[in-house]
Structure 1
Amino acid sequence: MRSNPNILVISFSDIRRDARLLRQLSVVKDFGHVTTLGYGTQPEGSDEHLQVPSELPSLPQTVPGVLKLALHLHGASEFAAPALRRARELLRDRQFDLVISNDARALPVAFYAAGDSTPVWADLHEWAPEERTHIASWRILVAPYIRYICKKYLPRTSAQTTVAGRIAHLYQETFGVQPQIMRNSCPLQDLEPSKTAREQIRLVHSGGAVPGRALETTIKAVVAAGERFTLDLYLVPANDGGKYLRELKSLAEGSPRIVFHDPVKPAELPKTLNQYDVGVFWIPPFNTNARLTLPNKLFDFVQARLAIAVGPTVEMVDVVKKYNLGIVSKGFSVEEIVASLNTLNPERIENYKQAVDYAATDLCFEKDAAVARKILTDLLDKNR
């Protein structure tokens, strides 16, 4: 292996907007020459970028491609997606010392690039076989294909990571691999808890305006909770042309206590959120990933030094209760959310904020970066 290893990072996303990928690259760049492959232009941390046109889908969508999925011709489906075919063309005749595949759908390209001897690290951001099973066409056509990809390729990977323990257990139980845990944490921030307002409790939520996250329930709950509460929303439009975000704004019309803001870059979020009191996220368990989510935003709230309010989502509950970070509602209905909010007062919020401040050094990317560094060191050393 060369003294400056060639490392390939694959993600069928716009890496510049993908917080987990940007954090991954912040570590990987210290280990060699980094080539990224994905949508959008070159991200920070990349030495060279192979750009896949954003209009090329990463799953089969043509009539022949969909027919292959419907007939469970999964081997023939691996490069039926236009984005994967283009990726294969971009990688032709290139050699790498390590390949990192982000999400299961990138695994065929990763093993094409790796050849017979190059190690592959699979960073599995969530439970891949049920990524979008709340959509009938995805559940019927794509889920069996993703299971095929995981069954074929994951046992051949040299390392695996995922975001939380219960999802890691699913991979172990289903595909016989043992992923290490790399949470969706953000870097430690040099911030202190803001002074808690006495008159109103300032709630905040940040993330994607994605149907299924039930942000309409959040808005209704804040309206129902009364004048003591305000809600500020920093939302990124979904891939629906902003339709759901417009619906949310329409729902909140007439309530001056609910304010929508432009989205903020991931690196700037904790400082922006620091002015508020409580970070909120009540996501109903509409599929396995929703039921087991341990999202970026929880760690953004921690680094912003906010108290936290969540529903009974098990991975988030484990963190909130372990460190005494905030409150957990009994369920996901408007009434149950309001009941939990009504337990808050300035004194309790200040106590939660102090607990969050204490926990911030443990719930930060520096802890998870150590996992990535060990994987990179081990795999590159083995390949020398």
Structure 2
Amino acid sequence: MRPKILCISFSEITADSRVLRQLDLLAEFGDVTTLSYGAQPAAAADHLEVDTKLASLPQTPLGVALLAIRWHSKAELAAPAVQRALALVKGRRFDLIVANEARALPLAHYIAGGTPIWGDMHEWAPEERVQVLSWKLLVAPLMTSICKRYLPKTEAISVVNDSIAELYQEHFSCSTETVRNARPYVELVPEPLTDGPIRLVHSGAAVPGRNLEGMIEAVGLLGPGYTLDFYLIEARDNGRYLRQIQHLAAGNEQIRFLPSVAPHELPEVLNDYDLGIYSLPPQTRNQALMLPNKFFDFVQARLGIVFSPSPETSRLIEEHHVGVVTEDFSAGSLASAIKSLSRDQIWTYKQNTHHAAQALSSESDSEVARGIVRRLLLERSRPASR
């Protein structure tokens, strides 16, 4: 009988590239039940759907009160989405539980009953949204408490890059394994530049704090000869922020907002463009140490890359000669970096991403993840010592 695996993710799972890759891998080893927002993903054998209206943090009056008095042991299971998840999973047993991000760890440990847990922390949990005052004052201490309490008894922990791994080692003395947000190798070739404008593209979530405004401003500074297409996924605000961004860009015929694309379709769609761009002023340590999905999307799409400075992305851009890093995080710096590139340079960068696409694919990261799953399932199958 195949092992039963539970994957918990308080995200819109069918749009969560990292978790979808994780599910494909987990399905190699067993029958996966997903517990998340959104519809059942293709790799799941069973799905427990949490209503998207239910918050994954304790945002009720009682929950906020618990956060305010620092009663974290009571608050960690108080979120409406967590309460619903407890009801959905009641009475079920699993051979492995995967908890995506810190907010899922208390639930995973509550229901585990001796089942091994893989905590995929993704990024640095204590500073996920510290640029928001209410989050900094109320939620950040909860995340720190969860990490202190549960990471020492979580059998495997993974993060998105080595810089984040160092933070967990430094602050919580826990060993982690790095599973980047790299995607599988895609069989594409670079699309030659046309005689028309340089085609810029950005894909991702329409979430405040991602500096979409700065990219719109940069295109205004570039003037004619450039276009920017956005492929944006609506946030859980019913598209309010996306509409604000569209209004900001209204009247600029160089900028288009195109329908969002399923994660597995992104490289082929983006392959038509010349440069993938992203500039993110670091308001948090996660932003300062970013190595996002979109970097790897752009690589597999065979684009040249223009990113703002970050230790992780800058190292890869320079090591593989796939693009340029802006001098700073301003719209002017982004525009200057783009404008400095000749068509020949852009074509060279596109060819270099083609040569680097295999090395920057998820092959090595998948092997790390497979090692985690093999190890934990083996531990589960061993008879208890007398």
- TM-score normalised by L of structure 2: 0.96
1:92 corresponds to: 90
Cα 1:41–1:246 shift into 2, 3 Å: closer
Deviation at 1:41, TM superposition (A): 2.3
Q: Deviations over 1:345-368 (max 9, x none)?
A: 111011111110011001112221
- 1:209-228 equivalences under 5 Å are 209-228=206-225
- Picking from 360, 376, 379, the partner of 2:376 is 379
Q: Do residues 159 (structure 1) and 156 (structure 2) align?
A: yes
1:240 corresponds to: 237
- Picking from 342, 347, 352, the partner of 2:349 is 352
Deviation at 1:210, TM superposition (A): 1.5
1:137 corresponds to: 134
Secondary structure of 1:38's partner? strand
Secondary structure of 2:27's partner? helix
Q: Partners of 2:56 and 2:336 in 1: how far apart?
A: 43
Deviation at 1:16, TM superposition (A): 1.4
Instruction: Name the amino acid aligned to 2:69.
Output: L
Q: Deviations over 1:103-122 (max 9, x none)?
A: 0000111112211x221100
Q: Partners of 1:244 and 1:114 in 2: how far apart?
A: 38
Do the aligned residues in 2 keep the contact of 1:163 with 1:183 (CA within 8 Å)?
Answer: yes
- Picking from 256, 263, 267, the partner of 2:264 is 267
Unaligned stretches of 5+ in structure 2?
382-386
Q: Deviations over 1:64-103 (max 9, x none)?
A: 1110100000111122112112222222222211111000
Q: Partners of 1:208 and 1:290 in 2: how far apart?
A: 14
Superposed CA RMSD: 1.2
1:14 corresponds to: 12
- 1:6-85 equivalences under 5 Å are 6-85=4-83
1:307 corresponds to: 304
Unaligned stretches of 5+ in structure 1?
none
Q: Deviations over 1:277-321 (max 9, x none)?
A: 000000110111111111111100000000000111221111111
Q: Deviations over 1:26-84 (max 9, x none)?
A: 01001112111111221111111122222221111221111010000011112211211
Q: Partners of 1:4 and 1:295 in 2: how far apart?
A: 33
1:362 corresponds to: 359
Q: Partners of 1:250 and 1:36 in 2: how far apart?
A: 37
Instruction: Name the amino acid aligned to 1:48.
Output: D
2:252 corresponds to: 255
1:102 corresponds to: 100
Deviation at 1:199, TM superposition (A): 4.0
My pick for the range that moved more, 363-372 or 105-114, is 363-372
My pick for the range that moved more, 270-279 or 230-239, is 230-239
Q: Which aligned segments of 4 or more residues in structure 1 are displaced greater than 3 angstroms?
A: none
Q: Partners of 1:32 and 1:268 in 2: how far apart?
A: 26
Q: Partners of 2:242 and 2:2 in 1: how far apart?
A: 45
Q: Deviations over 1:321-373 (max 9, x none)?
A: 11111011100112212221121111101111111001100111222111111
Do the aligned residues in 2 keep the contact of 1:99 with 1:113 (CA within 8 Å)?
Answer: no
Q: Do residues 334 (structure 1) and 331 (structure 2) align?
A: yes
- TM-score normalised by L of structure 1: 0.96
Deviation at 1:239, TM superposition (A): 2.6
Secondary structure of 1:31's partner? coil
Instruction: Determine what percentage of the aligned residue pairs are the same residue.
Output: 48
Q: Partners of 1:11 and 1:234 in 2: how far apart?
A: 23
Instruction: Name the amino acid aligned to 1:161.
Output: S
Instruction: Name the amino acid aligned to 1:67.
Output: A
Cα 1:214–1:335 shift into 2, 3 Å: same
Q: Partners of 1:110 and 1:378 in 2: how far apart?
A: 18
My pick for the range that moved more, 298-307 or 190-199, is 190-199
Instruction: Name the amino acid aligned to 1:47.
Output: A
